[in-house]
Amino acid sequence: MSIPLAIGIVAAATVHVASEMKLVSKEVFLRPDPPLPRSRGEVRVGAEGRPVATGFITYIDARKPILMHCYGRVQYSDGYDDYAVSISADNGRTWSEPEVRWKSVSTPDGPIRYGEPAAFFDARRGKLIVLTDRALYPKNRLNLDRENTLVLDIYDTKTRTWSQRRDLVFPGQRSPAVSFSFPLKTRDGRIVFPGMRKTLGRDGKPLHYRGLPHTVDEVVSIIGQYRQNGEIAWHLGNPLRIAPELSSRGLNENALTELPDGRIAAVCRGANNGLEGKPGYKWQAFSADGGENWSASSGTTAGMTAAIPSMPCPVTSRTWSTSSAISART
């Protein structure tokens, strides 16, 4: 069954006007769940029911306008459930019935939830590669110190089937998380997913700057390389860190792009929680070896034409004398 839906959570119909796009209409096609009775002690956002959570949308055919859209539901902040996928064979005019593929599992200690998937369509091989976070939510509460496990799902566009889900394991290393990120494929064929994980303190526990609730994070690349048999071997690059005195939550939620000279540029989210009077920044670093190692992070260059927000940060026009970072309003 196909449902006449527009593309995206809010979709826009447009017309060409002098080589520009003009909005002529829009349609909201994903809405909050119907309200349900709230169980005792349950934490939930949205009076109408669970709001829509973003996932990903991507073409899954190298020649035809076939799309896959993934979305879930927000149970509470950073707590998601029921991630589903729909397929459109006509570039978003109609969509298949959603198929829930990432659903929480109840345990005596609390639900195990999936969230924040990241997807890359390898057009040459006809496969959609999806990494998703999985974590325990003790007593159905968000644990900011939680350890995540990454799970791998691969959709074969030729057979229209999903692989059996499996955990990604990195022997001797802690697993990172993904956060709705946009992976890339380098010119030498490696697939790089932006990842992040907690920085550990001297006591071996997640580091909290000045007792703040959120952890100090570090950026790490999740790198996949094809073997001769077509399987993907995964490993982690070396972490990129920054002093919490510069960014109190470290670096996370990075965006990657491959530059014309072959380097990968990363722009990472920073934070100024607890840094009284100091603005928040995005932070920039470069890798000359496909995400294995990174240059020391530096403030995003002042050559940018517009301010880049970094949550949370105040309105300010000042920059630090030690960097050329740009500050902005969230």
Distance between CA atoms of residues 207 and 193, nearest Å:
24
Cα 171 to Cα 284: distance, rounded to the nearest angstrom: 29
Contact between 287 and 307 under an 8 Å Cβ cutoff? The reply is: no
Phi-psi region of 9 (alpha: psi -120 to 50; beta: other; left: phi over 0): alpha
Bridge partner residues of 151 (DSSP): 132, 167
pTM for this entry: 0.83
Looking at residue 42, its pLDDT comes to 56
- The SS3 assignment for 139 reads helix
Helix (H, G, I), strand (E, B) or coil at 209: helix
pLDDT of residue 281: 86
* DSSP letter (8 states) at residue 188: T
Tell me how far apart the alpha carbons of residues 108 and 79 are, in angstroms, rounded to a whole number: 18
* The amino acid at 144: L
Using alpha carbons, list the distances in angstroms from residue 138 to 133, 135, 144.
16, 9, 11
Secondary structure, 3-state, 7-45: CCCEEEEEEEECCEEEEEEEEECCCCCCCCCCCCCCCCC
Question: Residue 76: its pLDDT value, please?
Answer: 92
- Quick one: pLDDT at residue 25? 74
SS3 143: coil
Instruction: Provide the residue type at 77 as one letter.
Output: S
Alpha carbon dihedral 154, 157, 160, 166, in 10-degree steps, equals -10
Q: How many helices (H) and strands (E) does the chain have?
A: 0, 21
pLDDT at position 301 is 40
330 residues of the chain, pLDDT tens digit each: 333 333 333 444 444 444 577 777 777 878 898 876 665 555 555 557 899 998 999 999 999 999 999 999 999 999 999 999 999 999 999 999 999 999 999 999 999 999 999 999 999 999 999 999 999 999 999 999 999 999 999 999 999 999 999 999 999 999 999 999 999 999 999 999 999 999 999 999 999 999 999 999 999 999 999 999 999 999 999 999 999 998 999 999 999 999 999 999 999 999 999 998 888 888 999 999 999 999 876 665 433 222 355 544 333 222 222 233 333 322
pLDDT of residue 41: 54
**Which of 108, 154, 111 has its CA nearest to residue 132?**
154
**How far is the C-alpha of 281 from the C-alpha of 284, rounded, in Å?**
10
Distance CA 189, CA 123 (A): 12
Q: Output the pLDDT for position 7.
A: 35
Report the chain's terminal Cα–Cα distance, integer Å. Answer: 41
Q: What is the pLDDT of residue 27?
A: 78
C-alpha distance from residue 43 to each of 75, 82, 138, 142 (Å) = 8, 17, 13, 10
Residue with structure tokens 């998380």?
Answer: 177
* 254-326-305-253 Cα dihedral, nearest 10 degrees: 10
